[in-house]
Amino acid sequence: MEVTTMKITKMDYAATGAFSQTIADYLAQNEKLKPFYNHFPTIASFEAQLQEKSFSQEQRQVLHKALQEQYSSVSEINPKVQQNMDLLLQPNTFTITTGHQLNIFTGPLYFVYKIVTAINTCKQLQAQYPNYNFVPVYWMATEDHDFAEINHFNLFGKGYRWESEQKGAVGRFTTEGLEQLLDELPEKFPVFEEAYRNSKTLADATRAITHSLFGEYGLVTIDGDHAELKKALTPIVEKELTENLSHKLVTETSAQLEEAGYKPQVYSREINLFYLEDGLRERIVQEGHNYKVLNTNYSFTQQEILQLVKEHPEQFSPNVILRPLYEELILPNLAYIGGGAEVVYWFQLKQVFEHYNVAFPLLMLRNSAMYINRGNASRMHKLGLTVEELFKPYLELKKHLSGQLHDEEITLEAQRQTIVAAFKEVESLAQTIDPTLVKAVAAEEQKAHNALHILEKKLTKARDSKHEQTFKQLENLKEKLFPGGSLQERHDNLLSIQANNPDFIPALVDAFEPLEFKFTILEEE
């Protein structure tokens, strides 16, 4: 197969018009945001983070053992992944982590972009700090219970949906029903066929997929839904239940963010925990002296629930407020890579980290990208547009093209004058030969004028029709690259690109510069 070459263009995030002012201010290192994070992510600032992050040998052994157990579901572990898992036992090994929901078939493209950002960050750090080891980690959001957010994806312009009546944490779902979805697809995708047909749970299947796609880059996939790992969360859960600690701290920080002119991204509850068991993940609320699990008959006294925390910490699941703290407790992590909304909600958490004396990681905006295949690139060039201009609104681009397409008004006035002069000569000739023919000459002249007028209108209509085709081509191009008016990465799926360009992931690895904080456009040549 022919190797696809790529032209790479970089843009400032602010210039795309697709990112919040909060993110623009963060990337510009606006002073107003500095109280809400630790170090801004530069290659040099990792040195301070390396010194601040403490992670004991005991913690490393617990982590390594848990990963080995979780990877028992993978038939043949890539040596690079095994090497990275073993390196986590070393005191000079640290992680760069990204996290995401268990979207079927990897969901929107930004899932892949997050992971490539983590991989490339580790590569850059390894070159800068050769005395350390850096491992890219994908944190599976297995305890999430919002099935409607992950049960669908778009492929070749068509939507596909997994129907299931299962409840609770999605990572524990069986893969039942996914085989029917595989049969509906227009072609076979071996990585996903293997994962969904041969895995017991969605967590196992997702690990198999990320291992197949990114194993050669040493990506380690972790599932926080693990009894031994959850033990690290026990003291936090106890304080959460007895003091509502994270709620108080996050509420205070959120108020400071608002005072600085920024809108908080997530809502904190008095207890930021769920009760977790097979088929169930429901919020824990306090009612009087008792603790209840919503939508169930479960009720505990304080003594009973604290005893349960000690004996079965795996039955408590952190929500969006406490999940980041849990992640940093069980990983030797230096940086978290997230989308715009994720980075913003981490700003609400700094006081929680400070209270528990856990190093607040560097917050990195994931790489964002747009992929322009050869066909769309050809359409773009025919329209005379640059990749940067594609980000302008359709009406603005249409106006721009109208200016480029502007022609002189179509007129046949010169031809009309020629006809007038010609018929004047004919009229003079008729006057000398037979004056009765003058009227006939005038009638023929009028016919000629009418014919010219009709031709003039036809030529104008043809030109306008040609321009309408151009505008329709522009509209179609915009919809291809910005489906539904949003960024391509929020809608399109990896398979829609990989089907025609199997080297897409290596192309991303070549193109992404994580600490450059630029939007990347990959254009097929």
- Kindly report, residue by residue over 332-382, the tens digit of the pLDDT: 999 999 999 999 999 999 999 999 999 999 999 999 999 999 999 999 999
Confidence of residue 35 (pLDDT cuts 50, 70, 90): very high
Query: Mean pLDDT across the stretch 491-519?
Result: 95
Confidence of residue 432 (pLDDT cuts 50, 70, 90): confident
Query: Mean pLDDT across the stretch 372-399?
Result: 92
Q: For 295, what's the count of Cα atoms within 13 Å in the CB-facing half-sphere?
A: 10
pLDDT (tens digit, 9 = 90+) per residue, 137-179?
999 999 998 999 999 999 988 999 999 999 999 999 999 999 9
Rg from Cα positions in the chain:
32
Report the chain's mean pLDDT, rounded to a whole number: 93
The C-alpha angle 355, 361, 362, rounded to 5 degrees, equals 135
**DSSP states of 154-188 as a string?**
EETTEEEE------S-GGG-B-TTHHHHHHHSSS-
- The mean-pLDDT minimum among 45-59, 265-279, 352-366, 431-445 falls in 431-445
Q: Does residue 439 surpass a pLDDT of 80? A: yes
**Percent of the chain predicted with pLDDT > 70:** 97
Query: Mean pLDDT across the stretch 458-482?
Result: 83
Q: Does residue 407 surpass a pLDDT of 60? A: no
Query: Mean pLDDT across the stretch 509-523?
Result: 97
Q: Does residue 329 surpass a pLDDT of 70? A: yes
Which residues have C-beta within 8 Å of that of residue 308, sequence separation ≥ 6? Answer: 300, 315
Confidence of residue 468 (pLDDT cuts 50, 70, 90): confident
Q: Does residue 3 surpass a pLDDT of 70? A: no
Closest CA to 283 of 271, 300, 299: 271
Confidence of residue 452 (pLDDT cuts 50, 70, 90): confident
**DSSP states of 244-300 as a string?**
-HHHHHHHHHHHHHHHTT---SS---SS-EEEEETTEEEEEEEETTEEEETTSS-EE
Confidence of residue 1 (pLDDT cuts 50, 70, 90): very low
**Percent of the chain predicted with pLDDT > 90:** 82
Instruction: Name all contacts of 163-169 with Cβ < 8 Å and 24+ positions apart.
Output: 166/279, 167/279, 167/280, 168/276, 168/277, 168/278, 168/279, 168/280, 168/281, 169/142, 169/143, 169/144, 169/145, 169/225, 169/276, 169/281, 169/317
pLDDT at position 49: 97
pLDDT at position 409: 59
pLDDT at position 410: 63
Q: Are 519 and 504 in contact (CB under 8 A)?
A: no
pLDDT (tens digit, 9 = 90+) per residue, 201-213?
999 999 999 999 9
Q: At what angle do helices 394-405 and 438-481 cross, to 10 degrees?
A: 140
pLDDT at position 429: 87
Confidence of residue 408 (pLDDT cuts 50, 70, 90): low
- The mean-pLDDT minimum among 266-270, 355-359, 408-412 falls in 408-412
What's the pTM value of the predicted model, to 2 decimals? 0.88
For residues 420 and 336, the model is more confident at 336
Confidence of residue 427 (pLDDT cuts 50, 70, 90): confident
